[in-house]
């Protein structure tokens, strides 16, 4: 009945919009009795950014994002598998997450599944990627987002950094395992 958009429509600027079927929207003023206002309604900078975002959001851009996301997800899976790091890569469209866990049933569906994530291994992975010039979400529980700014060079930088970052995650796990082994008395 209604569609609501947040700051993504404004290229990151504080913008939001909603719309819907004519019969629903007709309840809003000035035609209907429901008044709607906001502190940023009609903000010229956010509105201009929103228009620019809509003009640039072409099928070609989304095709590129889908292709780049698929490439990165496959490369992350390959690198982490080769390094022996338990992981899951899950996605919704071009947004994806890399969880350092195998989950309870091969997927991360809820907080209990997400809490199985090896945050120490993710931290090692994150820092290795950062050292290679790739800034990922700093938390093991956040999603990765691609944008039109991720051109072929940026994607290649990510791909080049993945094997060493996966090795760093694996090394972190093996250090943790060896430090938790009981020593005989």
* Residue that finishes a domain, picked among 56, 74, 89: 56
* Residue that finishes a domain, picked among 41, 56, 71: 56
Same domain, 36 and 82: no
Place of tokens 């700051």: 7
Q: pLDDT confidence of 10, banded at 50, 70, 90? A: confident
Q: Domain tally for the chain?
A: 2
Least confident piece of the model among 14-18, 52-56, 133-137? 14-18
Taking residues 17-42, what's their average pLDDT? 89
The answer to whether position 33 is within a domain reads: yes
Same domain, 141 and 72: yes
Same domain, 65 and 85: yes
Question: 3-state SS of 91-151?
Answer: EECCEEEEECCCCCCCCCCCHHHHCCCCHHHHHHHHHHHHHCCCCCCCCCCCCECCCCCCC
Residue 43 pLDDT > 90, yes or no? no
Residues in the chain: 185
Q: What is the CATH number of the domain that holds 126?
A: 3.90.1150.10
Give me the phi and psi of 51, to 5 degrees please. -65, -40
**What is the reported pLDDT for 175?**
67
Whole-angstrom CA distances from 149 to 34, 68, 101, 103 are 40, 11, 30, 32
Average pLDDT over the chain reads: 90
Same domain, 97 and 176: yes
* pLDDT tens for each residue of 149-173: 999 999 999 999 999 999 999 999 8
Residue 102 CA neighbour count, 13 Å, CB half: 5
């Amino acid at each position: 009945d209604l569609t609501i958009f947040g700051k993504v429509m404004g290229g990151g600027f504080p913008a939001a919009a909603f719309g819907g079927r004519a019969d629903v929207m007709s309840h809003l003023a000035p035609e209907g009795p429901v008044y709607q206002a906001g502190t940023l309604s009609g903000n010229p900078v956010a509105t201009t950014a929103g228009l620019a975002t809509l003009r640039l959001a072409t099928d070609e851009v989304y095709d590129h994002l889908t292709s780049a996301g698929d490439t990165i997800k496959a490369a992350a899976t390959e690198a982490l598998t080769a390094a022996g790091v338990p992981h899951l890569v899950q996605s919704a469209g071009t947004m994806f997450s890399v969880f350092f866990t195998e989950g309870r049933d091969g997927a991360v569906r809820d907080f209990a599944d997400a809490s199985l994530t090896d945050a120490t291994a993710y931290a090692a992975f994150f820092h290795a990627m950062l050292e290679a010039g790739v800034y990922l979400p700093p938390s093991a529980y956040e999603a990765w987002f691609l944008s039109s700014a991720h051109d072929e060079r940026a994607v290649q930088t990510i791909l080049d950094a993945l094997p060493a970052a996966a090795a760093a995650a694996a090394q972190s796990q093996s250090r943790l395992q060896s430090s938790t082994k009981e020593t005989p008395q």
